[in-house]
Amino acid sequence: MNSKAVPEESKFDGLKWLVVVLIVAAGVVGNSLYSDQSLFYRVVALLVLALVAGFVALTTAKGKSFFNLFKEAKTEIRKVVWPTRQETLQTTLMVVVVVLIVGLLLWGLDSLLGWFVSGVIG
């Protein structure tokens, strides 16, 4: 059972999400309006707007929950025992062999059934 407290939703969360949507919309519209400007400047402006929108989104209850989930996922990834190179190669080889065998069996069955059907219908 997870005993961690879920962040309570603030009465300003809806307003914060509206600000995030407006910032993203401003980025989209601004990118269209300033399409004649240098790509570098537009990308920098979009990155700044994305950072601001992300910061505002992370101050909401759902944003805090997402950030906690991200931190926990990083912790879990560190716990994973990754296969060695040899295990990966052996598993890949087994998959390739099984796929080839099944492919040959299906090709043979298809050829046999095709021959049988063409013999029956003439």
Distance CA 6, CA 66 (A): 11
DSSP 62-102: HHHHHHHHHHHHHHHHHH--PPPHHHHHHHHHHHHHHHHHH
So what's the pLDDT on residue 15?
A: 93
Six-digit token string for 90: 């052996």
So what's the pLDDT on residue 23?
A: 96
Phi, psi of 85, rounded to the nearest 5 degrees: -60, -40
Distance CA 6, CA 46 (A): 32
Report pLDDT digits (tens) over 71-89: 999 999 999 999 999 999 9
So what's the pLDDT on residue 12?
A: 87
Instruction: Say which amino acid occupies 62.
Output: K
So what's the pLDDT on residue 10?
A: 74
So what's the pLDDT on residue 96?
A: 98
Q: What is the mean pLDDT of each run of 10 residues along the chain (122 residues)?
A: 60 91 95 92 95 94 93 93 95 98 98 94 84
Helices 13-33 and 39-58 pack at an angle, to 10 degrees, of: 170
The answer to whether residues 20 and 53 touch, using CB atoms and an 8 Å cutoff, is yes
Task: Measure the CA dihedral 52/54/57/62, to 10°.
Answer: -170
So what's the pLDDT on residue 7?
A: 60
